[in-house]
């Protein structure tokens, strides 16, 4: 990696939107210097037109769900009927075709300004449950895919043991299960991080990990100071079943077993009681909202504003990849809250961008990302201000324009660790991303 100088026509810094910002990156992949007030690019600098923002963090992804786009939008159904279609795609995954699909999906993310992804990974074994010769073959395929697509990854290796509150995994779920949380911990401990990769943990849900084994997963993450994520209260049926089985809501059950805390992120958190919201907020547990998936699956609108007011930092994810667009996720969180409350202006554009960047990176264990300042990781993205969606707004309102008008198609440049991964809308590492997606999806749809 070599040092590089970038010149941003406009950049969102901690002082606001600034014109003519020079960003010097070092050989270590971090920002070496930031200078304001440069009317033109210095000699040798790469010009970034539009507004340059910290790179986006996609805090919740299931890469293979990218193959479902379009297929699950036809006809009627519920989350549970959607899940059956998802299982059929999961049945076709191998390390090779999963690598190809994830590489293409992660390249699509880079094109949308995403510089880090949290991959909630639970397809571990062969169909039927037998282990690969390399028990982490699937996880390592995802790590390699992110590296080739040029984005960072936090592999959230997921413990998934039950089809529901102690029941044995069904025929589709056997390849997800390690049998016990102890065997899960033994396997995931062999995974290694690197400069592009961090290893975290995930509890699929309270229905998929027996209560007496929740603490094993939490302890593994705590010992390593690793991120811990969990699907939480996405469906009312899960809440009802948890109360029937344990006498607690899912949030209370997680609290009882030591799962909640500042390094934990609850995903969705859609159907919560006031007590649940207090438990999450007062413990500092983060919440990842996935609005485009939550509305696509008719899950409901989560209490994002109430959670933040109680102390939960918010992040954003594209989850099932109905779309891959963190600007849309940020906008949707505000718009959904408006529909629910019938009032406007719950978050400013800057606050929404923070959820899409700094707080998302923190949820994935990349605390040094999400800011354009010396010492931070040199991860940033430029959004056009001259497209049909963004033209006409003054530069002072560039952040508002990006959040409330732009979309992923307006991303022109993405820089990760100082490397120019997307240049003028073209991915520099993956040739013809649409063709790569089409080929990879055809291979797993069966």
Can you give 127-140 as a three-state secondary structure string? CCCCCCCCCCHHHH
Cα–Cα separations (whole angstroms), residue 131 to 19, 163, 170, 291: 55, 19, 17, 35
8 A C-beta contact, residue 287 and residue 304: yes
Active site residue 319: yes
pLDDT for residue 2: 87
pLDDT for residue 436: 98
8 A C-beta contact, residue 154 and residue 119: yes
8 A C-beta contact, residue 61 and residue 119: yes
pLDDT for residue 366: 98
Of 60, 124, 268, 346, which is the active-site residue? 268
Q: Which helix (H) or strand (E) holds 350?
A: helix 349-356
Instruction: Flag residues of the chain having pLDDT under 50.
Output: none
pLDDT for residue 72: 67
Of 178, 276, 319, 359, which is the active-site residue? 319
Interatomic CA distance for residues 352 and 316, integer angstroms:
9
CA geometry: angle 25, 109, 61, nearest 5 deg: 115
Interatomic CA distance for residues 411 and 222, integer angstroms:
37
pLDDT in tens, 47-105: 999 999 999 999 999 999 999 998 766 666 777 677 788 888 999 999 999 999 999 99
* Rg from Cα positions in the chain: 21
Please list the alpha-helical segments (H only) found in 181-296. Answer: 181-188, 211-224, 236-246, 250-256, 274-282, 291-296
Interatomic CA distance for residues 248 and 314, integer angstroms:
24
Other C-beta atoms lying within 10 Å of the C-beta of residue 39: 7
pLDDT for residue 87: 87
pLDDT for residue 166: 86
Exposed/middle/buried for residue 130 (C-beta within 10 Å: 0-12, 13-18, 19+):
exposed
**Helices 181-188 + 211-224 axis angle, to 10:** 20
Active site residue 121: no
Question: Pairing mode, if any, of strands 152-159 and 46-54?
Answer: unpaired
Interatomic CA distance for residues 24 and 376, integer angstroms:
11
Overall pTM surpassing 0.75 (yes/no) = yes
């Amino acid at each position: 990696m070599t040092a590089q100088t970038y010149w941003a026509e406009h950049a969102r810094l901690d002082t606001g939107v600034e014109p003519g910002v020079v960003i010097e990156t070092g050989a270590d992949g971090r920002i070496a210097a930031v200078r304001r007030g440069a009317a033109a690019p210095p000699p040798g600098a790469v010009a970034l037109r539009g507004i340059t923002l910290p790179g986006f963090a996609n805090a919740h992804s299931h890469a293979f769900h990218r193959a479902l786009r379009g297929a699950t939008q036809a006809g009627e159904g519920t989350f549970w009927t959607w899940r059956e279609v998802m299982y059929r795609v999961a049945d076709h995954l191998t390390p090779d075709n999963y690598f190809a699909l994830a590489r293409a999906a992660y390249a699509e993310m880079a094109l949308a300004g995403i510089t880090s992804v949290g991959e909630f990974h639970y397809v571990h074994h062969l169909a039927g449950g037998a282990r690969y010769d390399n028990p982490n073959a699937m996880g390592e395929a995802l790590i390699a895919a992110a590296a080739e697509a040029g984005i960072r990854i936090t592999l959230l290796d997921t413990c998934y043991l039950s089809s529901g509150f102690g029941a044995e995994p069904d025929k589709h779920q056997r390849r997800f299960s390690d049998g016990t949380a102890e065997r899960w911990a033994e396997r995931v401990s062999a995974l290694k991080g690197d400069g592009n990769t961090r290893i975290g943990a995930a509890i699929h849900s309270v229905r998929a990990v027996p209560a007496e084994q929740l603490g094993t997963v939490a302890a593994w993450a705590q010992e390593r100071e690793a991120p811990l994520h969990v699907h939480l209260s996405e469906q009312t049926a899960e809440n009802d079943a948890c109360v029937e089985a344990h006498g607690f809501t899912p949030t209370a059950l997680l609290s009882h077993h030591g799962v909640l805390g500042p390094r934990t992120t609850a995903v969705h958190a859609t159907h919560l009681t006031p007590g649940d919201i207090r438990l999450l907020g007062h413990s500092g547990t983060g919440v990842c909202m996935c609005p485009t998936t939550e509305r696509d699956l008719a899950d409901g609108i989560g209490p994002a504003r109430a959670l933040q007011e109680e102390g939960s930092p918010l992040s954003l994810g594209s989850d099932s990849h109905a779309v891959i667009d963190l600007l849309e996720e940020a906008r949707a969180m505000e718009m959904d809250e408006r529909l629910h409350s019938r009032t406007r202006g719950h978050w400013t554009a800057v606050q929404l961008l923070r959820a899409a960047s700094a707080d998302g990176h923190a949820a994935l264990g990349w605390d040094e990302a999400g800011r354009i300042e010396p010492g931070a990781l040199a991860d940033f993205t430029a959004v056009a201000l001259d497209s049909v969606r963004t033209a006409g707004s003054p530069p002072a309102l560039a952040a508002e324009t990006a959040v409330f008008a732009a979309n992923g198609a307006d991303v022109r440049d993405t820089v990760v660790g100082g490397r120019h991964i997307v240049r003028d809308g073209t991915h520099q590492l993956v040739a013809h991303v649409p063709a790569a997606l089409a080929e990879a999806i055809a291979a797993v749809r069966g």
